[in-house]
């Protein structure tokens, strides 16, 4: 899971947070939203963005384990703010975090229990989440879609033929991907 925040990028001073969760190299869950408060720093914006991502990561892990797709274990969450990760790993409060609502500190508990593993990555490597924190011009948007392995698909209810779609995914006929390499089985 990749997490990012764009500090004070809205006209009212609020930040935008985003995350992208992947499974088997493809995005399965993502979100981008304006934070409900004005963060005093980019570190606080990133720290609070981790909360929504961790909630989703925990739910997705429970789902994939229940379906037998993964074994139980910690979920890795990537963030490009080492300061935000330091807040998660510290105990107690500091002058810069004492005003932050307790609901954001549940991620500390999930980290201490070993449910979540946080890893710092450089900003360039965090482009999967970064692409959801700001508007992108057409070419950058198309590059972003390719980066996260997202392709246009349409539902084709009339055609129930089996279709093989790139890289071994087999569609039983409800999706028709508009992607080079689409091959129909006979």
Return the domain boundaries, the chain: 2-147, 153-184
Please say if the pLDDT value at position 47 is more than 80. Answer: yes
Q: What is the residue-averaged pLDDT of the chain?
A: 80
For the stretch 58-110, pLDDT in tens is 999 999 999 999 888 999 999 999 999 988 888 766 666 666 767 777 898 99
Please answer whether residues 127 and 147 qualify as being in contact, where contact means their C-beta atoms are separated by less than 8 angstroms.
yes
Q: Contact at 8 Å (CB) between 5 and 49? A: yes
Helices (H), 80-154: 82-89, 106-113, 127-130, 138-147
pLDDT of 152 reads 73
Q: What is the reported pLDDT for 92?
A: 66
Name the pTM for this structure: 0.74
**Is residue 120 scored above 80 in pLDDT?**
yes
Q: Which fold has domain 2-147?
A: Nucleotidyltransferase; domain 5 (3.30.420)
Q: Who's near 49: CB < 8 A, 6+ residues apart?
A: 3, 4, 5, 15, 17, 18, 19, 35, 84
Nearest to 87 by CA among 35, 41, 123, 47: 47
SS3 assignment for 156-169: CCCCCCCEEECCCE
Task: With a cut of 90, say whether residue 158 has pLDDT above it.
Answer: no
At residue 93, what are phi and psi to the nearest 5 degrees?
-115, 160
Please report the pLDDT score of residue 21 as a whole number.
Answer: 93
């Amino acid at each position: 899971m990749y997490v990012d925040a764009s500090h004070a990028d809205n006209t009212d001073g609020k930040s935008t947070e985003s995350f992208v969760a992947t499974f088997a190299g493809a995005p399965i869950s993502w979100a981008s939203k304006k934070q409900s408060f004005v963060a005093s720093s980019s570190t606080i914006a990133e720290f609070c963005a981790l909360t929504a991502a961790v909630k989703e990561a925990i739910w997705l892990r429970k789902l994939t384990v229940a379906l037998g797709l993964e074994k139980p274990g910690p979920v890795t969450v990537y963030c490009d703010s080492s300061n935000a990760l330091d807040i998660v790993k510290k105990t107690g409060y500091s002058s810069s975090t004492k005003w932050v609502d307790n609901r954001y500190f549940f991620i500390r508990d999930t980290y201490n229990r070993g449910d979540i593993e946080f890893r710092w990555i450089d900003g360039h490597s965090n482009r999967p989440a970064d692409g959801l924190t700001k508007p992108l011009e057409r070419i950058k948007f198309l590059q972003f879609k390719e980066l996260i392995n997202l392709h246009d698909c349409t539902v084709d209810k009339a055609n129930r033929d089996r279709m093989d779609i790139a890289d071994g995914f087999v569609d039983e006929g409800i999706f028709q991907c508009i992607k080079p390499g689409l091959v129909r089985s006979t």
